[in-house]
Every structure is written in C-alpha cells, then in structure tokens.
Amino acid sequence: VGISYQISKWNGLSWASQADLGSQNLYGISLFNETLGFAVGDQGKIAKWNGSSIWYEYQDTGNQNFKDVKIFNSTLAFAIGDSGKIFKWNGSNTRWYEFQDLGNQDLKSIKMFNNTFGFIVGGPSGSAYRWNGTRWGSEQINGAFTLTDVDIFNETLAFATSDNDKI
C-alpha cells in the first residue's frame, strides 16, 4: 500500500508492483483470505482484491481520508479515517456505508478480536473506542496524548501506542 494508489505484492521471494489505481494515496490494507481484501486511502477510495491478480477501485465514498481498514470475516469489515466517521461493509454483494460518526476525530488504527470485540484508536487525549457487536463506544485511556496504533491478543490483553513514547 502506498503513494499514488500503488499496491505491491509479496510472492514469497520479493515485492513486486501489483496495481496502479490512480493518483490517491493508500494507507490501510486488510485481507480476510486469499480471495477477499480491501485497501483504503485518500478521497474515500476503497480498492478490492478479486482473489486472482487484480485490485480494482470498488467504491468511492466521497471526501473521506481513510487511514485503516479491518476485515473480520466475509460479512464484517470497518474502515476509519481522519473525519471520525466509521464505514462498514457487511457482505460480498453490498457497498460500504457510513455506519457511525464519532465526531471530528482523527482515527488512526483499528483491530478486531472477534465479531463482538475490537478497538479503534486516535483522536485527542487518549481516545479509544470499543466494538460490542452493535456499535463503537468510547473508552478513555488516561493521558493527554494521541493514540497511534492498537493490537489485541485476547479480550483481556490489548496494547495501544501513542505519539508520546507511551505504550
């Protein structure tokens, strides 16, 4: 994933350019399996992997600047970005749609553990949001710093990094 809508693929030995989809930057990519994946980036661009050799522009959601995407299974995926809006995809034949608006938050990273537990981080002052299976709710992390990434091992162990040398 990278600058100017480029996607590169690892073939087991080296990286090679896989797709050139235009001039928008891509920032996040997630694969569910060998036949389903999404990449997201500037200006609301969402690219989809067709499972053989082609990435193609699947949807243009408008003026969103997506930063990350996560596919949990074949019927659940989320894309997040700098507008605080969360977009959802719920199946192979449907389009992405605006699912929830968290306000003017610069969302940075999303991880899912299962279909009822996940985290999104970003925004000011340690903002984190937890997925409960139906919606994203606020979870405050103490400190005046911006969270930059999150990872989940299980429902009782997760870590978030920040722009202030904190974990």
pLDDT tens digit sequence for 79-88: 999 889 999 9
pLDDT of residue 91: 84
Residue 2 has pLDDT above 60, yes or no: no
Give the position of tokens 């389903």: 36
Task: For residue 85, give every residue at least 6 positions away whose Cβ sits within 8 Å of its Cβ, in sequence order, or none.
Answer: 64, 98, 100, 101, 102
pLDDT digits (tens, 9 = 90+) for 107-132: 999 999 999 999 999 877 778 999 99
Q: Is the pTM of this model over 0.85?
A: yes
Kindly state the tokens that stand for 62: 């408008």
Q: What is the pLDDT of residue 93?
A: 65
How far, in Å, CA of 164 to CA of 167, rounded? 9
User: What is the Cα–Cα distance from 86 to 134, expressed in whole angstroms?
Assistant: 13
Residue 3: what residue type?
I
pLDDT level of residue 45 (50, 70, 90 thresholds): confident
What confidence category does residue 165 fall into, taking pLDDT thresholds of 50, 70 and 90? low
